[in-house]
Amino acid sequence: MTNTTTSQPSTVNDPAQQALVLRTIKKKSFAVLSTVSNQGFPHAAGVVYDTINAADHGPIVLYTHTMRSSRKARNIEAHGRAGVVIPVRKLPVGPPFTVQFQARAALLAMDDPEITAHLTAGRLKKISGHGELDESDGCFIRIEPRGLIHSYGLGVSILALARDPLHAGARSVAMG
């Protein structure tokens, strides 16, 4: 039997959903960062990230540390774009919920004023406390979500997801 539901992911400017997505991004620290090579090949890598944002609903910026010689750093240097997926485990069974978005991305040197200001202020501890600052080839990646931030499962009742897992869980919010 074919499901004839034609619902699209809901796009909301709902402050409660925006706050939920923002809290989720800030609470988590693992994401899959995707980039594309000059030859058009995708590359995805798990990264640990930290977040900075000025307001509860304002623009959020993610930072991660990597080696300048890494594939993701080379791809970001060439294109300045990335995709991000943050898995969000809410149930003990089934796949995790997710937050995903497209982003502008930039490499920042270890001594970049933006990075040194954050480090001096005691921020970025999730990505600078395990010897990262001692790496001679190290750099930081600044990731700024652009457009809508999409999620699956966040803010949706478990019953709605159980009844229609293909259509009930998608949400999109504008941040900032």
Domains of the chain: 10-174 (2.30.110.10)
Could you report the per-residue pLDDT of 73-130, keeping only the tens digit for each? Answer: 999 999 999 999 999 988 777 788 999 999 999 999 999 999 999 999 999 999 998 9
pLDDT digits (tens, 9 = 90+) for 25-69: 999 999 999 999 999 999 999 999 999 976 544 589 999 999 999
What is the C-alpha separation between 176 and 57, in angstroms, rounded? Answer: 6
Cα–Cα distance measured from residue 97 to residue 86, given in angstroms and rounded to the nearest whole number = 8
Per the CB < 8 A criterion, the answer to whether 66 and 128 are in contact is no
Alpha helices in the chain (DSSP H): 15-27, 71-79, 113-120, 158-163
Q: Which among 76, 72, 99, 80 is positioned nearest to 156, based on CA atoms?
A: 99
Phi, psi of 159, rounded to the nearest 5 degrees: -65, -45
